[in-house]
């Protein structure tokens, strides 16, 4: 292999690398500009925000002793039974 072909291959590799880096840099620059344009558009024309559900407006009113939300259709005895079963399972699995 002569030195002329190696030099031309290295020049071709360097030029391809430079073209690739310019392409990636340009793409990322356009992406940043696009994100800024979208942010300005959203600031200029804010949409209507959805109102949170009623059970999330006052979470302290619907919390049980264990900081778990109580659903209106579930009986307290069922929650106590499930909690006891989980506690028993955890105690048995430690042994």
Is 62 or 17 the better-scoring residue by pLDDT? 17
Give the contacts of 66 (CB within 8 A, at least 6 positions apart). Answer: 83
Integer Cα distance of 83 and 76 in angstroms: 11
CB 69 within 8 A of CB 55: yes
Q: Is the pLDDT of residue 6 over 60?
A: yes
> What integer pLDDT is reported at residue 76 of this predicted model?
82
Q: What average pLDDT does range 38-43 have in this prediction? A: 94
Q: What average pLDDT does range 49-59 have in this prediction? A: 69
> What integer pLDDT is reported at residue 24 of this predicted model?
98
% of the chain surpassing 90 pLDDT: 49
> What integer pLDDT is reported at residue 95 of this predicted model?
64
CB 62 within 8 A of CB 69: yes
pTM over 0.85: no
């Amino acid at each position: 292999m002569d030195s002329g072909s190696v030099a031309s291959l290295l020049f071709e590799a360097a030029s391809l690398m430079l073209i690739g880096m310019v392409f990636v840099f340009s793409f990322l620059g356009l992406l940043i500009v696009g994100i800024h344009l979208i942010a300005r558009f959203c600031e200029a024309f804010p949409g209507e925000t959805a109102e949170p559900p009623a059970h999330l407006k006052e979470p302290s009113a619907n919390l049980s002793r264990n900081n778990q939300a109580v659903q209106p259709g579930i009986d307290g005895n069922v929650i106590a039974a499930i909690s006891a079963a989980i506690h028993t399972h955890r105690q048995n699995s430690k042994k």
